[in-house]
């Protein structure tokens, strides 16, 4: 009988694990994406409008909003391909969220043992915190994406991995692009402090090639030119990028907000379901992250501990000033959790260094713990979000309902007029990508057109039409568009010529 180490499944166990984790992440991000979340929330609608209003002309630098510009460029391309659909709105977040999990997995693979990295990667991919961010069509995912990518590149550079010069150039490019995302400047501040005080990083910086430093500085400045121009035109952008509130809270309010942020992270007795599901961390994950933090302090001389501890220290006052930006803590907490679970594995292995049976049976409780956390996270997101009354109030299903109708074979090639509320006009016009003969007007702008095949009237503005406008509506065929909600389910009326 061959030893276990020669079996094919054993030799490729880590590759199989990575593949399954990637498939799991992609599956969870795409699962019921057209129904969960059940519509578009206010943040998604704002992001969509900002993305659709980007115009590539000679006045681009004058008119474009540079905050979160990389994300809005991706979302604009997605909207042009898929229109105002759930996939068109959320595709950039799905891709960036999936890449973020991959980057964190590669970081943990270099920091920890491979089996630990895979086990913890499963918890990261299935956490409700990640699913709420990765499945939302807003730029919030950019903080996780840039953080995980830059930390991975910094790890490759500090360890002088293969092709580390290429990683160094890519890290400078990504660092420059990350400054377009709010809060990312604090990662640079923490990294700069770590580079000054940590011996290994200080050594790398001291003996770095002067030519590469100059070229890197020029590349960084070149990437930051559009942002610098935007800041010169409107200095208030600096406050937005640093997430500094207009009114600085006093010491009492600061600590109150800080305690409130901690409660949103770990308090199991204060639960809520809305734009986020709180507490953001389950008790096992919070406990493992705490173990990882303790481990980081005991192993303070390492590069990873320096960066994580300094990063959290820099972010604590930021969270106290603006407790709504907790997503910036996602990556450091998850990395600390990975360190914590490795400490748990090592502790058990040290108890039974020569007893393989004790090692195997000791992994069973850990496996059950992971399975219970995964099941709990699945139920919190996929069962709570679509049915909770507090969530339903936050999401508007009208844009997706209207898109499905316009994209159908029946209406795609018709000349259509949509009578919409003033606040939704710009949003509905995005669907001209799938219905080219679409015209969106407000009730005051509506007039009968002889060559219009169908008129779609939003129920919320139907009573704003005058008697003459009502008489101008086609009456050969009338259909009703309804959603799946109990109250106010009638959303649109379709008046067709035939």
pLDDT tens track for 355-370: 666 667 767 777 888 8
492 or 209, greater pLDDT: 492
pLDDT at 67 (0 to 100) = 92
Query: Checking DSSP bridges between strand 438-441 and strand 454-458, what pairing results, if any?
Result: unpaired
Residue 481 has pLDDT above 90, yes or no: yes
Position 448 scores a pLDDT of 72
Q: Residue 27 has what pLDDT? A: 94
Task: Dump pLDDT digits (tens) for 290-310.
Answer: 999 999 999 878 888 888 998
Task: Categorize the per-residue pLDDT at 476 as very low, low, confident or very high, splitting at 50, 70 and 90.
Answer: confident
Residue 452 confidence (pLDDT): 87
Residue 54: CB partners within 8 Å, gap ≥ 6? 60, 64, 72, 73, 76
User: Could you write out the three-class secondary structure of the chain?
Assistant: CCCHHHCHHHHCHHHHHHHHHHHHHHHHHHCCCCCCCCCECHHHHHHHHHHHCCCCCCCHHHHCCCCCHHHHHHHHHHHHHHCCCHHHHHHHHHHHHHHHHHHHHHHHHHHCCHHHHHHHHHHHHHCHHHHHHHCCCCCCHHHHHHHHHHHHHHHHHHCCCCCHHHHHHHHHHHHHHHCCCCCHHHHHHHHHHHHHHCHHHHHHHHCCCHHHHHHHHHHHHHHHHHHHHHHHHCCHHHHHHCCCCCCCCCHHHHHHHHHHHHHHHHCCCCCEECCCEECCCCHHHHHHHHHHHHHHHHCCCCHHHHHHHHHHHHHHHHHHHCCCCHHHHHHHHHHHHHHHHHHHHHHHHHHCCCCHHHHHHHHHHHHHHHHHHHHHHHHHHHHCCCCCHHHHCCCECHHHHHHHHHCCCCCCCCCEEEECCHHHHHHHHHHHHCCCCEEEECHHHCCCCCCCCEEEEEHHHHHHCCHHHHHCCCCCEEEEEECCCCCCCEEEEEEECC
Position 25 scores a pLDDT of 94
pTM above 0.85, yes or no: yes
Whether the predicted pLDDT of 208 surpasses 80: no
CA distances from 357 to 17, 344, 420, 426 (A): 22, 17, 68, 64
Give pLDDT, residue 389: 83
Angstrom distance (rounded) from CA 43 to CA 75: 14
Helix (H) or strand (E) holding 456: strand 454-458
The model's pLDDT over 240-288, given as tens digits with 9 standing for 90+, comes to 999 888 888 888 999 999 999 999 999 988 888 888 899 999 998 999 9
Residue-averaged pLDDT of the chain = 88
pLDDT tens for each residue of 403-448: 999 998 888 888 999 999 999 999 999 998 888 889 999 999 998 7
Q: What is the pLDDT of residues 2-48, one digit of tens each?
A: 554 555 666 787 788 889 999 999 999 999 999 999 899 999 999 99
Give pLDDT, residue 137: 95
pLDDT in tens, 384-400: 888 888 888 899 999 99
Q: What is the pLDDT of residue 457?
A: 96
């Amino acid at each position: 009988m061959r030893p276990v180490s020669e079996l094919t499944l054993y030799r490729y166990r880590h590759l199989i694990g990575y593949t399954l984790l990637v498939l799991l992440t992609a599956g969870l991000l795409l699962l019921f994406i057209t129904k969960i979340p059940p519509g578009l929330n206010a943040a998604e609608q704002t992001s969509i409008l900002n993305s659709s209003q980007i115009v590539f002309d000679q006045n681009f630098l004058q008119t474009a909003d540079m905050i979160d510009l990389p994300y809005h460029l991706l979302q604009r391309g997605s909207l042009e391909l898929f229109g105002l659909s759930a996939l068109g709105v959320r595709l950039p977040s799905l891709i960036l969220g999936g890449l973020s999990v991959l980057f964190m997995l590669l970081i943990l693979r270099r920091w920890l043992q491979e089996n630990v990295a895979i086990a913890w990667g499963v918890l990261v991919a299935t956490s409700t915190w990640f699913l709420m961010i990765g499945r939302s069509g807003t730029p919030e995912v950019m903080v996780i994406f840039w953080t995980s990518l830059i930390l991975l590149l910094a790890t490759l550079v500090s360890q002088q991995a293969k092709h580390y010069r290429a990683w160094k150039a890519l890290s400078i490019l990504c660092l420059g692009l990350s400054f377009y995302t709010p809060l990312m400047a604090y990662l640079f501040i923490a990294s700069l402090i770590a580079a000054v005080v940590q011996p290994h990083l200080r050594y790398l910086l001291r003996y770095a090639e002067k030519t590469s430093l100059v070229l890197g500085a020029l590349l960084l400045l070149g990437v930051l030119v559009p942002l610098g121009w935007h800041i010169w035109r409107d200095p208030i952008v600096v406050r937005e990028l640093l997430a500094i509130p207009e009114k600085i809270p006093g010491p009492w309010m600061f600590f109150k907000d800080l305690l409130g942020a901690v409660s949103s992270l770990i308090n199991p007795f204060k639960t809520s379901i809305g734009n986020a599901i709180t507490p953001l961390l389950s008790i096992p994950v919070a406990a493992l992250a705490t173990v990882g933090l303790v481990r980081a302090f005991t192993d303070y001389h390492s590069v990873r501990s320096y960066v994580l501890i300094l990063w959290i220290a820099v972010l604590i006052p930021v969270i106290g000033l603006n407790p709504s930006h907790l997503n910036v803590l996602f990556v450091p907490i998850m990395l600390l959790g990975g360190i914590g679970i490795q400490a748990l594995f090592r502790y058990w292995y040290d108890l039974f260094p020569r007893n393989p049976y004790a090692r195997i049976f000791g992994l069973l409780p850990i496996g059950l713990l992971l399975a219970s956390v995964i099941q709990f996270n699945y139920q919190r997101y996929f069962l709570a979000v679509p049915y909770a009354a507090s969530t339903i109030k936050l999401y508007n299903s009208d844009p997706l309902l209207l898109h499905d109708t316009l994209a159908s074979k029946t209406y795609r090639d018709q000349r259509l007029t949509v009578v919409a509320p003033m606040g939704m006009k710009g949003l509905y016009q995005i669907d001209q990508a799938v219905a080219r003969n679409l015209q969106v007007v407000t009730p005051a702008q509506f007039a009968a057109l002889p060559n219009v095949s169908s008129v779609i009237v939003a129920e919320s503005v139907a009573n704003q039409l005058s008697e003459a406008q009502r008489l101008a509506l086609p009456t050969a065929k009338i259909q009703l568009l309804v959603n799946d909600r109990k109250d106010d389910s009638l959303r649109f009326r379709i008046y067709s010529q035939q």
